[in-house]
Amino acid sequence: MHPATMQPVRDCSQSSVHALIQLIERSSAPEHFLYREAELDDLWRQVQTRLETARAENADEAVRRLEQQLQAVWDAHNLVAAMNAPEAAARLRQLLQAE
């Protein structure tokens, strides 16, 4: 994976998040960060979909965990927008530890 290409995020699995972390860590040019923002948008949608399902099923513990994950993705997105790759990657690592 090269940071100058956009990679689709098809799910919110640990392997997908890990791959995105690696891309963020390799990003250095402004256009790289634009791609990472779009990828984080994809990840956000994946987590949001799971959250909506958990809410519909009244799965309180899953809702709490997914809300935390959604916040981590949001924070990482904002850090990527600020071109702060180390902090964005660190925030996504917290998402991995929460699972």
Please indicate, yes or no, if residue 2 is contained in any of the structural domains.
Answer: no
Is residue 76 situated within a structural domain? yes
Q: Which domain holds residue 82?
A: 14-98
Let me know if residue 3 belongs to a domain: no
Whole-model pTM: value is 0.92
Q: Does residue 31 form part of some domain?
A: yes
**For residue 27, is it within any domain?**
yes
- The answer to the question of residue 44 being in a domain is yes
Percentage of the chain exceeding pLDDT 90: 85
Domain count, the chain: 1
In a domain, 75, yes or no: yes
pLDDT of res. 66: 94
Radius of gyration of the chain (CA): 13
With vertex at residue 91, the alpha carbon angle to CA 53 and CA 10, rounded to the nearest 5 degrees, is 45
Q: What is the structure's pLDDT at 53?
A: 97
Residue 98, token pair as written in the block: 């929460």
Residue 92 CB partners (closer than 8 Å, separation 6+): 17, 20, 21, 24, 72, 73, 76
**pLDDT(25) > 80:** yes
Residue 79 lies in a domain: yes
- The 10s digit of each residue's pLDDT in 29-71 is 999 999 999 999 999 999 999 999 999 999 999 999 999 999 9
- The residue-averaged pLDDT of 66-81 equals 96
Where residue 58 falls (left for φ over 0; alpha for ψ -120 to 50; beta otherwise) is left
